[in-house]
Chains A and B, each alone.
Chain A
């Protein structure tokens, strides 16, 4: 079974390199964790509603590799409820669907598509 959890429409799937990262249940709902993808640090999030997201571990505002350690949550936007993470350093809140920062248009977080393929969680990173 393949569940497509989050995919950015502007990214051509053929340009992605998919990484087999861990089992979905290695992640605790609500508790972000970092993953090491051949030197690239990625933050992985599993929400209690069963959704998964991946973003760059590097905080766009400070450059420190900490995004997995932010508080996960939701915010209501004009387009409805979106999943979010707040940077643990200065608390900027980023949408996990497209990486936009709520409240500061100059910042954005790189987000990556996540797929659950069978018993494994995969993250696609642009080549």
Chain B
């Protein structure tokens, strides 16, 4: 039967006379194809993209990001692409059949899409394990898969009340990413791999051994060389739960969650359906049952690869006229490859061909670089030295977990490939030189061998710097110099702009360091200095100034200005210097020389509100407060007519205090035992905690006591940005510690330490830094973390952003804080000890000193005169500012007649 006999409505969005191009599949290859078509112009054409997913095409390479950060946006490219009238994205449309005779695609819901050209970009499916219990495993392919794993880890952790065992079957690239992801989510990661070593596709044995050692060092448990034989399950409260994985050698590995990542299979079923139909017709004609028909006795519609995939030629055309295949479903030279770079190249080739070009596919670029829980791995080119006469120059240090190999031609001159594990630094500069003559001896690139720095070389213009998007060094130079392809013909001289303009570094990101270097080289060449200067008064960044001030032992603004600055300073450098001096000397912020530097809130030790009055926030460590102290706050608020509100940080904020009232208000609070909550400072705000094991029936540690200790230890600590902490008493995480800069979550064995989280405009989830710490080690790591942050972050840079900017991110931070790789541990702890020793309550110190109190007078010539422009109205039993602060003639100023409540 022909598939076209069904007469349901035909979808044909394209107007008559327009060339209809239909894409089946909505992954990165489909996206790139559509983008490439639009970039070349769509006059007289219409592109329809049929995707079974409900999402706009997203970046599957970055899928692991969505595992730990559910809300991350992975949308590929500019979403405006899908608004183009000549482009249509049809979601929820699964193609199930083709009718070649009338050139139509049929979808599962019975719609038909007529085409003039058809591009198959169906990608792959995650392969599943043919073993019992497979139906209870997770795969790692779509957004829904990783979201499912994320919520399952959380659900099981809460249900079981302990760290769960998450087993990943498959020790390839994706499997290791999945294992590292579940580890970051707080699960115990176990990897089972049938091969003798991890990442067998990319790594040779030596590299695989080094990799295994490093991965084990990161806390991943690896069982290699054995295949699993069954996923074991049990029944708990009517629910089937996974209990373990049985291995071929009879061992049972405990598991609460199993992820299968053993590779992908091309989704070539459309082609198979047509081939099956052709075979059936041939069998019928020959009068034999289909299963007895020899494959040689019929001609398939599409030629297929031995292990699947639709065969394409170098133009990316299939055997069927007007049908193309790109990406993972395309079989070229006997191979399907699950990497984004070749998929992008194929998409560009088909777009070029449809525009009358003659681009050809030269073969797969299988270069891979990734970073797994801090382990650098890279493999590219002829990594296994299969080229005849190829030489392998190797450095291996199994003890350190370092393996570096460069593969060159028999004359040791031309670069053929390489593998790097543990230290992949040379990869970024080597990668673009693939197939070219190396500027130096191959051994010079084995950086771990102590051969020194690889020679700095200028990349030739035609060297491909970003292989994902096929961007050459020359194209980047053009953009830096102002080639005019971007807005306003202006040179693009910032990294972010350069990425947008050229698309280099926007996919896997591994070429970004090289991109940055090339940009800096080009800018230096054109005489432009790459300025990190804070403002016109200093040539330093905050981190540089911090070090300079520390090394020079400077303790006052005047000294810093005289030594390193110029002019009279400004609202940018002055608070930054105040913060640096405060971090290094714990000095009282309003003393001579410091007071004049302070930003709006620090200047009054209170938070300025829209009408110029202040809010007052006493510290309530860990959110624990006695009824007596609550009474004090109530009385003070009543007496001064302050508006009260509970803050998001478990404290009570009192609004509407005038500058000259602050000392009186604080006198009453300090006498009752309160101290400043530093709600005004770039400093520790609070440590939020849940009620913990003292009351809660689920709590496993005393989170309140830990929160109070931490708040008292780090109170008053000045930093480049405000920061918050949280302590949760169990994995249920009621204190939302992972939304804090420093988050501590109790485990049965101690504390897990998370860092780099925040709420606000750009929320970030904190990442796991160390697990199962005792109290002393926890505090030691927090000391080091905070001090390292304070020393090296830029002004107003919060911990999450700071870690993003650090080379190596969380892994670098872990090496400094946990492994003490820079040998700074003791110094950072000593700096924190000095802070703790010198802490004083800023408000108590203010009240004791008439010189300091002088700073709170309202008018130099009338210290008790209040600001009469303030006006309030009553709302819900309290007062608030009367609408917008009154405008109008300022001379003379009196209270507006409309004020309902006057002071």
Contacts and interface: CB of A to CB of B under 8 A. Distances in A.
A44 B861 CA distance: 11
Interface string B574-590: 11000000000000000
A95 interface: no
A48 B568 contact: yes
Contact of B890 (A22, A40, A81, A93): A40
Contact of A75 (B570, B604, B865): B570
Contacts of B603: 69, 88
A14 B506 CA distance: 66
Contact of A41 (B567, B568, B600, B893): B893
Contacts of B363: none
B894 interface: yes
B164 to A, nearest CB: 48
A111 interface: no
Contacts of B536: 75-76
Interface in A11-70: 21-22, 26-31, 33-36, 38-41, 44, 47-49, 56, 58-59, 62-66, 69-70
Interface in B873-901: 884-887, 890-894
Contact of B886 (A49, A63, A89, A93): A63
- What DSSP secondary structure best describes chain B's contact surface? loop
B890 A74 contact: no
B349 to A, nearest CB: 49
A119 to B, nearest CB: 14
A62 to B, nearest CB: 6
Contacts of B598: 71
Nearest to A59: B612
A83 interface: yes
A73 interface: yes
A64 B881 CA distance: 11
Given A44-B860, A88-B603, A89-B608, A74 B567 contact: yes
Contacts of B885: 62-64
A71 B868 contact: no
B599 interface: yes
Interface string B598-634: 1110011000101110000000000000000000000
A36 B859 contact: yes
A67 B93 CA distance: 61
A110 interface: yes
B571 interface: yes
B859 A33 contact: yes
A76 B890 CA distance: 30
Contact of A62 (B575, B610, B894): B610
B867 interface: yes
A29 B569 CA distance: 13
B654 to A, nearest CB: 19
A101 interface: no
Nearest to A126: B891
B812 interface: no
A81 B869 CA distance: 34
A50 B860 CA distance: 18
A86 interface: yes
B266 to A, nearest CB: 57
Interface residues of A, number: 46
A70 B571 contact: yes
A125 interface: yes
B890 A73 contact: no
A33 B860 contact: yes
A71 B574 contact: yes
A114 interface: no
Given A74-B569, A86-B570, A69 B608 contact: yes
A63 B858 contact: no
Of B570, B575, B592, B868, which is in contact with the most chain A CB atoms at under 10 Å from its CB?
Answer: B570
Contacts of A40: 890-893
Of A30, A38, A70, which is in contact with the most chain B CB atoms at under 10 Å from its CB?
Answer: A30
B1 interface: no
A44 B859 CA distance: 10
A9 B384 CA distance: 81
Nearest to B590: A31
Interface in B482-497: none
A56 B869 CA distance: 13
A43 B853 CA distance: 19
A125 B893 CA distance: 14
A103 to B, nearest CB: 12
A1 B73 CA distance: 68
Given A34-B860, A88-B600, A73 B608 contact: no
B571 A73 contact: yes
B596 interface: yes
A34 B599 CA distance: 17
A115 interface: no
B252 to A, nearest CB: 63
B595 interface: yes
B610 A27 contact: no
Of B567, B598, B867, B891, which is in contact with the most chain A CB atoms at under 10 Å from its CB?
Answer: B891
B780 interface: no
Contacts of B861: 21-22, 35-36
A114 B708 CA distance: 52
> Across chains A and B, which 5 residue pairs bring their CB atoms closest together, nearest first?
A30-B596, A73-B570, A74-B568, A86-B571, A88-B600
10 contacts: A22-B860, A29-B596, A30-B597, A35-B860, A58-B890, A62-B885, A63-B885, A64-B612, A64-B885, A88-B599
Interface of A: 21-22, 26-31, 33-36, 38-41, 44, 47-49, 56, 58-59, 62-66, 69-76, 81, 83-84, 86, 88-89, 91, 93, 110, 125
Interface of B: 536-537, 567-571, 574-575, 592, 595-600, 603-604, 608, 610-612, 659, 855, 857-862, 865, 867-869, 884-887, 890-894
Given A30-B596, A41-B859, 17 more contacts: A21-B860, A27-B860, A34-B859, A39-B891, A40-B893, A59-B612, A63-B884, A64-B611, A70-B571, A70-B600, A71-B597, A71-B599, A73-B569, A86-B570, A88-B603, A93-B571, A110-B890
